Structure 1
């Protein structure tokens, strides 16, 4: 990881997702149906994209053969909620590889275990039913997730409010505006007049 990339991630980690969304004119914020699976979950990382058939996690296993430190698996599971795409075993494998979390348009299971692991997962639903493993699917191509197009390498930031995706070529500008917005809100909260024009 380059020093610039480390700086970007560290900076993003200090900012509320709401401010990042505001800095993108409220665009690139994932559908609110995709939410944290345990309170206080937070992640910052680079999108490692996955497309899979609903209820099937073969493509996720294949993606984990290639994903690495600092990656967030961003998984289009077709919004299917009848089968869990991941649970504690896949999360444990991912964490051991340095993957920092999952964002899934689909269902998961083993929520209590994920919380105990402190492994951040944002998903559409929870079900005890396990997945199929037949395919098809692919990874590291653009995917749509919760109304947002996500490209490999985009910056993914998520907290209790939800998930924002920052296009890589815009991240420095977006984060600068998010910092200004955050400082403005802190000043307003503390009763200090904020600079105009933010």
Structure 2
């Protein structure tokens, strides 16, 4: 999926595109990324995040509904490095990350709420490929996400296929 700037997407789709609230910070070395969405819903347990990012990403974007929890990080440098190695385009986390200095060197788009040094406790919980609700918009598996310095835009696969 070729990258298209989020402002240009608004000009094209207006209110038929979905926009996440401007609450996410950039943590990866890549600030402009796009790809088909895979979702995971988990709170304070990154078991599914680690598992998914260890599989072939094929340019996809993992969207993590961590319920906005600031209690622990759902991704750190080792899991993010696995995502790079496996070809993921990016990760958007409604929650925290850690190892910020290392994340900034990785060729991966990473957006999250904040940094938190505390790691999550793995309890083998989390649900994959379910619709999730992040601040500002619902996110469905198979949506196409575009992220840059101006924000995050979500299109349906049909809308994204109309882009030149």
User: So what's the TM-score if we normalise by structure 2?
Assistant: 0.89
- Alpha-carbon shift at residue 97 of structure 1 (Å): 0.9
> Does the 8 Å contact 2:30/2:107 carry over to 1?
no
Structure 1 unaligned residues grouped into runs of 5+: 1-8, 177-198
For 1:31, the equivalent position in structure 2 comes to: 21
> Does the 8 Å contact 1:41/1:118 carry over to 2?
no
> Does the 8 Å contact 2:54/2:83 carry over to 1?
no
Q: Distance in 2 between matches of 1:38 and 1:119?
A: 5
Tell me the secondary structure at the aligned position of residue 18 of structure 2. Answer: coil
State the Cα RMSD in Å: 1.9
Aligned pairs (5 A) from 1:31-50: 31-37=21-27, 41-50=31-40
Tell me the secondary structure at the aligned position of residue 41 of structure 1. Answer: coil
Deviations 1:7-61 (A, max 9, x none): xx12xx1x321221343324411110023225761111110111102x2101212
Structure 2 unaligned residues grouped into runs of 5+: none
User: So what's the TM-score if we normalise by structure 1?
Assistant: 0.75
Does structure 1 residue 104 correspond to structure 2 residue 93? yes
- Alpha-carbon shift at residue 66 of structure 1 (Å): 4.6
Higher RCO (CA < 8 A, seq sep 6+): 2
Decide which structure has the larger Cα Rg and report it: 1
> Does the 8 Å contact 2:19/2:137 carry over to 1?
yes
Of 39-48 and 113-122, the range deviating more from structure 2? 39-48
Q: Would you say how many aligned residue pairs link Structure 1 and Structure 2?
A: 163
C-alpha distance 38-59 of structure 1, shift in aligned 2 (>3 A): closer
Instruction: Report the structure, 1 or 2, having the larger strand content.
Output: 2
